[in-house]
Structure 1
Amino acid sequence: MKIIWFLRSVLFALGQVTTLVFFSLLGQLTRPFSFATRYQFMHYWAKFCLVWVRWTCGVKYSVHGADNIDRQNAGLILARHESAWETLAFQAIFPRQAYVLKRELLKIPFFGWGMALLNPIAIDRGAGRKALNQLVKEGTARLQKGDWVVVFPEGTRMPAGELGKINIGGAMLATKSKAPVYLVAHNAGSYWPKNSFIKTPGTIDVYISPPLDVADMSASEVNQQVENWLSQHLTSTETKGAKEETVQPQ
């Protein structure tokens, strides 16, 4: 069985890398245009990967709480980080968004070139307070322009079932911007594990909270909400609760 999963993962990787080269190179032609135009082009690569991983590796997903998303008002997404899967899937689940990421990622050939077109908030993790201020300033500006912002409060990919330290940056952006906050948990690492080439068949469960009004909250209170939501769903994503709504790329 493992050899089958390996071969299917090879097939997925071939399609993913080939199309990444195509989109990242052709996407450079969109640089003179608006962020909306660049995003519209590049997000098709993410949608392709979601379809391709479903066909080749049998990795599907189910979204619980999709009705909670208010698509008319830009929101801040504070999400669980387990694999590369969520960076693709959020582009299909949520409206146009900017990611907070390590600036070193933009130096990766093809992948970094493509990510640069998506107007990310690229920070230097070693910059301390300067990086935090950049996150708050640029994140607030993106939200005010109507773009959603994605922050992974744990800061790095975590193994399925293991909760990492919740960093303060996302919570500070929430309290400064006053944007509605969506807490997102999932178990992508169960099927597309961190640092693993092999993907295994299954359905990833994504849980989206109702929008959180943080107007009267402190950053530490927001972080507590994040920790509670993620902790609650570390177990429920393994047991797979009842499906409320399923979203799959067309």
Structure 2
Amino acid sequence: MNWFRTIAFRTLFYILSVPIVATTPIAGLFGQRVLIAHSDRWSRLHRFLMRRVLGITPRIEGVIPTGQYLFVAKHEAMYETLELQLQLGSPAMVLKRELMRIPLWGWSAVKYGAIVVDREASSKALRALMREAAAVRATGRSVIVYAEGTRVPHGESPPLRSGFAGLYKALNLPVVPIALDSGRLLPKKGPKRSGVITIRIGAPIPPGLPRRDAEARVHAAINVLNQP
């Protein structure tokens, strides 16, 4: 049954995603607000199929704060990259530079409000990151980053990437850590399983802390659900 649901979900999601993704550059021509609304349709499609086909629902623990924040989330599956955009009110995303090279999609991501990070973490890349982060902060929009750099299997807790420190300094915003356990039901390989994914909203961490303190507190908070 799990394999049947997995195949059905993948088939429906990718087929129904084609017209949404293909028309994203067109939506971008009409401004950021239209592009965000268009992108949210994709997230809602994903949520609907997750619930109806895979039998997966989210459970929110804690309170999503109002205002401008830097959200830092655990990353175990594609699930959270779409679900959290809906839950958090479409924050600007931090994306790796490789994704920006995708024709048209990369342009659309910039129009959406993406902040680009370079894994090489050179001084030039860090300065560019800080400029982009400062520009987003000036708009009053929140930002979300998956600070471990890539999706990791449930139960693992790699260190935060160096880009987090630069982003934390540039934005000078309270940090809201988000822990989740999507990898339990949505492993990268093998069939997906039905159930409840917990999304735990942590207590805000103030800006201006020393780098090591900020990283240690965020890392601990996003991994509190990290039980194998």
Q: Which of the residues 177, 198, 214 maps onto 1:205?
A: 198
Q: CA deviation at 1:113?
A: 7.1
RMSD (Å), alpha carbons: 2.2
2:65 is aligned to 69
| Counterpart for residue 101 of structure 1 | 95
CA contact (8 A) 1:74 1:148 kept: yes
The CA distance in 1 between the partners of 2:131 and 2:77, in whole Å, is: 27
Change (3 A) 1:10 1:109: farther
Post-superposition offset of 1:110: 8.3
Question: For residues 204 and 110 of structure 1, do their structure 2 counterparts lie closer, same or farther at Cα, with a shift above 3 Å needed?
Answer: farther
Give the whole-Å Cα distance in 2 for the aligned partners of 1:60 and 1:115: 27
Q: Which residue of structure 1 lines up, in the alignment, with residue 35 of structure 2? A: 38
- Does the CA-based 8 Å contact 1:60-1:203 persist in structure 2? yes
Relative to 1, partners in 2 of residues 1:156 and 1:182: Cα closer, same or farther, differing over 3 Å? same
State whether structure 2 residue 213 is matched by structure 1 residue 221: yes
Q: Is the 8 A contact 1:82 1:187 kept in 2?
A: yes
| Partner residue of 2:73 out of 76, 79, 82 | 79
Q: Percent identity?
A: 27
Is 2:19 aligned against 1:25?
no
Residue 138 of structure 1 aligns to a residue whose secondary structure is: helix
Q: CA deviation at 1:105?
A: 2.1
Q: Does 1:138 align with 2:120?
A: no
Q: Cα offset for 1:19?
A: 2.3
Tell me the secondary structure at the aligned position of residue 224 of structure 2.
Answer: helix
C-alpha separation between the residues in 2 aligned to 1:22 and 1:197?
27
Q: Which of 167, 184, 188 is 1:173 aligned to? A: 167
Aligned residues: 228
1:152 matched residue in structure 2:
146
1:78/1:181 contact within 8 Å kept: yes
Amino acid of the structure 2 residue aligned with 1:132: L
| CA–CA distance in structure 1, aligned partners of residues 221 and 3 of structure 2 | 34
Q: Point out where structure 2 has 5 or more consecutive residues left out of the alignment.
A: none
My pick for the range that moved more, 154-163 or 144-153, is 144-153
Q: String of CA shifts for 1:197-219, please: whole Å, max 9, x gaps.
A: 6321111101111222223x112
| Residue identity in the other structure for 1:202 | G
1:54 corresponds in structure 2 to 51
Give the 3 Å change call, closer, same or farther, for CA 68–91 of structure 1 in structure 2.
closer
TM-score for the superposition, normalised by structure 1: 0.83
